[in-house]
Amino acid sequence: MVRVLVIEDNPAILTLTKDLLAAENYEVDTASTGEEGREKIEKNPPDLLVLDLSLPDDFGLDICRDVKKSHPGLLVFMLTALGNSQDVVAGLEAGADDYLAKPFNKREFIARVQIVLRRADKIQ
């Protein structure tokens, strides 16, 4: 089973993404701060990290860079309100495997998650 960690400080978005991923039969864990997310990654790295950029205690680009150094195989999907082209490029250059701006289409989010996992041979 594919394990996903969602790091998101907005409770509504956190619940929505968790529910969408769980409906696709992914095992989903959550964190509402960068610190909590980093601890969970170190204790039990997921297959996929869904990451917000604007967290109260950390910046998602820094988390992404650090995660890619310590866990190069961990897939990172940025889901953030920062959606201009400079933000997208910065996220991809930091190591994100995909990037989607909020607000987002639920079906597109799941389709993009599946594509990222399929590319990495995590799902068929």
Q: What is the pLDDT of residue 124?
A: 56
**DSSP at 3:** E
Q: What is the pLDDT of residue 51?
A: 97
What pTM value is reported for the model? 0.94
Average pLDDT (92-108) is 95
Within a domain: residue 124? no
Q: What CATH number does residue 102 fall under?
A: 3.40.50.2300
Within a domain: residue 112? yes
Q: Is the pLDDT of residue 99 over 80?
A: yes
Q: Is the pLDDT of residue 56 over 60?
A: yes
Within a domain: residue 32? yes
53: closest CA among 25, 73, 32, 81?
Answer: 81
pLDDT in tens, 2-48: 999 999 999 999 999 999 999 999 999 999 999 999 999 999 999 99
User: Dihedrals φ, ψ of 9, to 5°?
Assistant: -90, -15
Q: What is the pLDDT of residue 82?
A: 80
Within a domain: residue 71? yes
**DSSP at 121:** T
| Structural domain span for residue 87 | 3-119
The pLDDT > 90 percentage for the chain reads 91
Provide the number of structural domains found in the chain.
1
Within a domain: residue 11? yes
Q: Is the pLDDT of residue 117 over 80?
A: yes
